[in-house]
Structure 1
């Protein structure tokens, strides 16, 4: 009996290995429109040419979206904060050795993903933020340039002309629903009032988005990461979920990886990427793992906007979403030379 069982298990392992090898390398990334497809294709082309360079492929894909200013929500020239400045967040994770580099509130440097890679490779730290992240980038040879464009200036002007609506303030005076600041604490507001059912800001793919990406090479080694310019009209200094490991993205080299996109102020509270990977660890499919992560957030914030993608070392992938009708994501695998777009219905 033991010999028969051992033979069966060996056969199943061999079958899984064959299936996996046919689907690897694998690139899975958020959003399915043309620029995001191009970013996914850039990563997939790179990993096909260099089958073991998963982190380089990841950074190439994220950087492609930055240079294309995907949806004006990734890279320079989009999502200005309340002062009119564009700032960037990015995260790079590598499964072997559980290595990480991230930047948040990065200013005056266009190459956020490459700076995150530099943090991982040239320091013993994991996360640098703000002006000091800019100083580090300059020291590493990156070029300083303005992240403000005519497009972002127009966004900011229109927002000011609309009485600074929408914004991210509450319990302050003057009334943030009617006028611009500067604001001060409203002494008449209930102290420490945190109502999870309060109306959410109008997040959408137009107002806020992230490119999140998972790359699995032909060895089955995993990398994951993100890049974004954050929420439009955010309070200066705000950092969203994107550069936070377990929130914006996560990977475990024994399992696979996941990434999130959407309302980062909500999503970072639940670590959906970590949760999705942990569910895959217990044998759940990527699609079901993403659904569990989404439903965990939806239970507290029913109308929040976001999506999670997930992929495992067998080359399987899936996604789930909330707050929109459908969500599209990009996949490149060993069965084709070009990436394909998959679409799922949202909760």
Structure 2
């Protein structure tokens, strides 16, 4: 009886505070909200120039979608990065082919695969998302669409990349080169001041890949996935392994079940290890962010890191790994 009266009095008191003071009511509401969420940009590998630009945009009030697109475009324009965009390493036949995807907070998505002669595939992917009823365009169709949207054709094979490709032809066997050095896709997640999350992933793919090969980067659920109510994840490394496990989707679903980003990334990597006896021959790495703005990362081989921009500070963060040496 005494307990019932205490509960009733407490409920009446709280109701009186709420009705009697708008300010107090607002403060009580604020206490129940997620107060740790702030603008944050995170990307695979040490691409701090990309996260700095995206982070600065977020701090100026830009949407997560605008920030993530502009952020990864930094590396698409970086001629020294031979694994993304302009200057990317070609396939075995000398073709530079690009893959990219983008996701908005409302769950919409766009993707392009095997795109030639367009320096910013992520922007074409966004146009696919916003201007067509489709999610993915490929090859000549993607190029035709890009030109119709005003994108300019460009020779993406630089002298440096062409020279390296010709040297590879002289010394390498005609089979997949699987290691952790010849690809470092940029995948990025951004959370804006409203707490909305967007993501993007862009790459030129595995160096000297077979003509026509497409990896995980433009595949929604593999290289990138997000649910704005839960969080998002991006992957990098051997795309074939990531596709087989639908890694980014798996991580988001694990977070939905209650795991934090670190736990979810680790579980996704451990599943790949369990499924592949040759896991020591390739790298798989993930970065994830939940709605609290918490970040997690895990990989197979030591050496992977992720860039983060938060509260005006840019950092490079080593990832935990299954193999320690």
Give me the whole-angstrom Cα distance separating, in 2, the residues matched to 1:11 and 1:320: 37
Tell me how far apart the structure 1 counterparts of residues 96 and 247 of structure 2 sit (CA, whole Å): 26
Shift of 1:85: 1.2
1:142 CA drift (Å): 0.2
SS of the equivalent of 1:120 reads helix
Matches within 5 A, 1:52-201: 53-69=63-79, 71-96=81-106, 98-162=107-171, 164-165=172-173, 167-168=175-176, 201=177
CA displacement, residues 173-225 of structure 1 (integer Å, 9 cap, x when unaligned):
xxxxxxxxxxxxxxxxxxxxxxxxxxxx4322x31121011111121111111
Give TM-score scaled by structure 2 length.
0.87
TM-score between the two structures when normalised by the length of structure 1:
0.82
**Partner deviation per Cα, 1:46-88 (whole Å, 9 max, x = no partner):** 111124x111101001111100146311112222101111110
- Aligned partner of 2:45 in structure 1 is 31
More helix as a share of residues: 2
Alignment map for 1:186-225 (pairs within 5 Å)? 201-204=177-180, 206-225=181-200
| Cα distance in 2 between the residues matched to 1:233 and 1:38 | 27
- Cα distance in 2 for partners of 1:328, 1:66 equals 19
**1:298 correspondence with 2:307:** no
Distance 1:11 1:338 in 2: 31
How far the C-alpha of 1:13 sits from its partner, in A, is: 7.9
Question: SS of the residue aligned with 2:156?
Answer: coil
Is the CA contact 2:43–2:187 (under 8 Å) kept in the aligned structure 1?
yes
Q: In structure 2, do the counterparts of structure 1 residues 135 and 277 end up closer, same or farther at CA, with 3 Å as the change threshold?
A: same
Query: Is it true that 1:330 corresponds to 2:302 in the alignment?
Result: no
Q: Secondary structure at the match of 2:178?
A: coil
Instruction: Provide the C-alpha distance between the structure 2 equivalents of 1:112 and 1:226, rounded to a whole number of angstroms.
Output: 10
Match in the other structure for 1:17 = 34
CA distance in 1 between partners of 2:178 and 2:135 (Å): 32
Note if contact 1:248-1:260 (Cα within 8 Å) is conserved in structure 2. Answer: yes
Q: How many residues align?
A: 300
Pair 1:70–1:27, CA change in 2 (3 A) = farther
**4+ residue stretches of structure 1 with deviation over 2 A?**
1-7, 10-16, 164-168
- TM-superposed CA distance for 1:338, in Å, is 2.8
Aligned counterparts of 2:118 and 2:182: Cα–Cα separation in 1: 22
* Consecutive unaligned residues in structure 1, runs of 5 or more: 169-200
RMSD, aligned CA: 2.1
What CA distance in whole angstroms lies between the structure 1 residues aligned with 2:174 and 2:247? 26
Post-superposition CA distance 1:226-267 (Å, at most 9, x none)? 010000111111110000011000000100100000000111
Give the whole-Å Cα distance in 1 for the aligned partners of 2:200 and 2:80: 16
